[in-house]
């Protein structure tokens, strides 16, 4: 069951008595809760038939009492428990979950964690509720998800602009949606997003970013790599070393995997390793410029410099100093 399917059922008027929403990806949980809060009931019905609790400040008997009330002047009522992961003795809701009231729609938002499915309560939730569990989206899923979101806004985006946007925001889906909405507003009547738009409206340089640094290292273009690092040094919020090192590690980890695939077919590699088709050419350039052994050494170097960046075995070298030193060792 997906968030889209649950919201689609809401729109059709198909409701279940209890919805249990759990997991690490709050975006999808918030989407369902937001619809339940603002769209299931009319504005006039909400005045009498919408009850919202917050887990930290809520006692389980209060939730059950609210759920067992009958709706006023309406076919149904909605009861929402937000931040239910902070609610004490939440498993004591099991009596109501076992025998819910059909005129009540109970939506429980249990974010950032999951119920233990081995417990009696966990088993009951899976058998008696509309059970929705989610996890953080993998990095290789982000481009397609972002492109689909852009299409839903009636827009299109070129591959480089898409990579700039995704690399800059990461897997914060709520922020990605906000940035897309910002682009939609600023584009006016224009429908195609370019890297110039990402630079102008999102604040990501199309020349000095992690994606371009990866490309420079793939080509062993030391001068370009150093220019990018110098830009990061002058604009520390744009390219913090805590963002750069994991991105480079992910790039060279996938490059390392290419040697084990036994093929250089770009389409096959992109599919097998979850690499964006637009980015695969950069990997193939790196494949020609780095051997299996040198790639292995680079991964060890990245781990070593990650430790140094947090002060382990380092006497206080600046982030830019660490990056310049790292780059020279990587391409040598």
Q: What is the CATH number of the domain that holds 115?
A: 3.40.50.300
On whether both 57 and 153 belong to a single domain, the answer is no
- Per the structure, the complete domain to which residue 121 belongs is given by 3-134
279 and 242 in contact (C-beta within 8 Å)? no
pLDDT at 316: 86
Alpha-carbon torsion (322, 323, 325, 326), positive or negative:
positive
On whether both 36 and 91 belong to a single domain, the answer is yes
Domain boundary among 202, 227, 242: 202
- Does any domain span residue 321? yes
One pLDDT digit (tens) per residue for the chain, 332 residues: 789 999 999 999 999 999 999 999 999 999 999 999 999 999 999 999 999 999 999 999 999 999 999 999 999 999 999 999 999 999 999 999 999 999 999 999 999 889 998 999 999 999 999 999 998 888 778 888 999 999 999 999 999 899 889 988 888 899 999 999 999 999 989 999 999 999 999 988 889 999 899 999 999 999 999 999 999 999 888 889 998 999 999 999 999 999 989 898 998 998 888 888 888 999 999 999 999 999 999 999 999 999 999 999 888 899 999 999 999 999 98
- The token pair that represents 168 in the structure block: 């800059």
Query: In angstroms, how far is CA 32 from the centroid of its own chain?
Result: 16
On whether both 110 and 166 belong to a single domain, the answer is no
pLDDT at 204: 87
On whether both 125 and 143 belong to a single domain, the answer is no
pLDDT at 66: 96
On whether both 51 and 80 belong to a single domain, the answer is yes
186 and 227 in contact (C-beta within 8 Å)? no
* Nearest residue to 3 via CA among 90, 22, 305: 22
Contacts of 181 (CB under 8 A, 6+ apart): 153
What is this structure's pTM? 0.78
Backbone angles phi, psi at 101, to 5 degrees: -90, 130
Query: How many structural domains comprise the chain?
Result: 3
pLDDT at 262: 85
On whether both 110 and 77 belong to a single domain, the answer is yes
| CATH code, domain carrying 173 | 1.10.8.60
pLDDT at 10: 96
- Does any domain span residue 207? no
On whether both 130 and 248 belong to a single domain, the answer is no
């Amino acid at each position: 069951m997906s968030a889209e399917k649950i919201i689609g059922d809401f729109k059709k008027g198909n409701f279940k008595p209890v919805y249990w929403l759990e997991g690490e990806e709050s975006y999808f949980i918030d989407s369902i809760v937001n619809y339940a809060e603002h769209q299931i009931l009319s504005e006039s019905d909400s005045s009498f038939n919408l009850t919202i609790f917050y887990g930290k400040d809520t006692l389980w008997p209060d939730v059950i009492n609210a759920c067992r009330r009958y709706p006023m002047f309406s076919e149904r009522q909605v009861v929402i428990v937000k931040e239910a992961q902070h609610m004490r003795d939440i498993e004591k809701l099991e009596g109501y979950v076992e025998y819910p009231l059909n005129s009540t729609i109970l939506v429980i938002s249990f974010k950032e964690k999951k119920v233990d499915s081995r417990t009696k309560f966990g088993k009951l939730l899976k058998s008696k509720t509309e059970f929705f569990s989610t996890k953080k989206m993998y990095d290789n899923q982000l481009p397609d998800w972002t492109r689909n979101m852009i299409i839903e806004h009636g827009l299109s985006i070129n591959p480089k602009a898409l990579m700039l946007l995704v690399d800059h925001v990461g897997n914060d889906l709520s922020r990605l949606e906000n940035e897309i909405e910002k682009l939609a507003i600023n584009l006016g009547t224009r429908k195609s997003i370019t890297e110039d738009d990402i630079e102008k409206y999102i604040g990501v340089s199309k020349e000095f970013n992690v994606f371009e640094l990866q490309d420079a290292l793939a080509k062993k273009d030391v001068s370009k790599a150093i220019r990018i690092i110098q830009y990061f040094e002058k604009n520390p919020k744009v390219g913090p070393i805590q963002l750069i090192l994991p991105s480079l590690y992910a790039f060279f980890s996938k490059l390392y995997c290419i040697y084990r695939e036994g093929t250089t077919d770009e389409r096959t590699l992109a599919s097998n390793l979850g690499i964006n088709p637009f980015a695969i050419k950069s990997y193939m350039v790196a494949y020609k410029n780095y051997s299996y052994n040198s790639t292995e050494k680079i991964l060890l170097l990245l781990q070593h410099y990650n430790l140094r960046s947090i002060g382990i075995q380092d006497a206080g070298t600046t982030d830019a100093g660490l990056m310049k030193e790292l780059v020279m060792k990587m391409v040598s």
